[in-house]
Amino acid sequence: MFRLAHLTDPHVGPLARPRLRQLLSKRATGYANWRRGRSRSHDMAVLSALVADLRAQAPDHVACTGDLCNIGLPSEWETARDFLAELGAPETVSFVPGNHDAYVRGSLEGLLETCGPWTSDDDGRTRAFPYLRRRGPLALIGLSSAIPTKPFVASGRLGPPQIAAAETMLRMLAQERDRPCRVVMIHHPPQPGGAAAGRELKDAREFSAMIGRAGAELILHGHNHVGSVAFLPGPDGAGVPIVGGPSASARPGSHEGLPGRRAAYYLYAFAREGGRHAITAQRRGLDGDGTVTDLGPLALTQD
């Protein structure tokens, strides 16, 4: 049995005070939002507790689906690298970026220059999306939906070349004799209606149509800061599960009354059953007392 941990949207802090010239951009509103409340929504002690629990579970691999940064400052790139290193070596951790990692022009390039080893493909190439990593029975396909946007906009886009390349990968993998379990990683919810206007994946319909042709066994994302399960139809008509994770640093009580917002990560187990891959998932995160514990299973099949 192979186990994969999925953690997302850690928004690693603390955030250093920007220089004045660094605020002559979208970062001005982002920094104001951070000072006004976002900094109190993300708790580094909670994040440390989750990471410690994740490491104690000793998964075979870790998927991190973006938003290591807050406003894309150069000072955040080393902090992001240190966080990924705490999760594990580049061979055991796969990262895809989020909108906060591409906050302004140049932010994404700087982050990927620093954290490139965690995005390398099996041939060692870095900073190229989609990438393919084979780990145990899994084929991990990493996509980047991270693009710089205007203030108060947090949308993403894959673009036709990336979607076409992902389809080629997924089709190739499906034709292999010992067919791997294809796990797609992306930051934005990839299905139409998966996020509110201004926060959505702009080419969700194109991505969804591609999955309908090529298929996948599991799609992991973040962005909404809420645990969720949705489905896209695959080529055989069966639903492909799309699982969104909550922010791994959500402070207890910061989203009171909103189900699925409590800080957590998800732990998947993969096993072969005949000619198919059986996938089960458990949620691990904060309980009512602020202790990291087992929060129960995730249902990955449609009723």
* Domain assignments of the chain as residue spans, ordered by start: 2-256
How far, in Å, CA of 46 to CA of 32, rounded?
A: 23
Greatest CA separation found in the chain?
61
Residues paired with 239 in a beta bridge: 233
Q: Phi/psi at 130 (nearest 5 deg)? A: -75, 155
Distance CA 190, CA 79 (A): 28
Asked if residue 159 lies in contact with residue 186, where contact means CB atoms within 8 angstroms, the answer is no
The pLDDT tens digits of the residues spanning 67-121 come to 999 987 899 999 999 999 999 999 999 999 999 999 888 899 999 999 999 999 9
Q: What does the angle CA 192 – CA 195 – CA 199 come to, to the nearest 5 degrees?
A: 115
Phi and psi at residue 40, to the nearest 5°: -85, -5
Q: Mean pLDDT of all residues in the chain?
A: 90
What is the side-by-side order of every strand in the sheet holding 228-233? 131-135, 138-142, 181-185, 218-221, 239-244, 228-233
pLDDT at 13 over 60: yes
* Fold exhibited by the domain 2-256: Purple Acid Phosphatase; chain A, domain 2 (3.60.21)
Task: Quick: pLDDT tens for 209-218.
Answer: 999 999 999 9
> What's the Rg (C-alpha) of the chain?
18
pLDDT computed for residue 21 by the predictor:
56
Candidate from 196-200, 225-229, 234-238, 266-270 with smallest mean pLDDT: 234-238
Q: Which residues touch 21 (CB under 8 Å, ≥6 apart)?
A: none
pLDDT tens-digit series, residues 108-156: 999 999 999 999 999 999 889 999 999 999 999 999 999 999 888 999 9
At residue 257, the pLDDT reads: 46
pLDDT at 259 exceeding the cut of 80: no
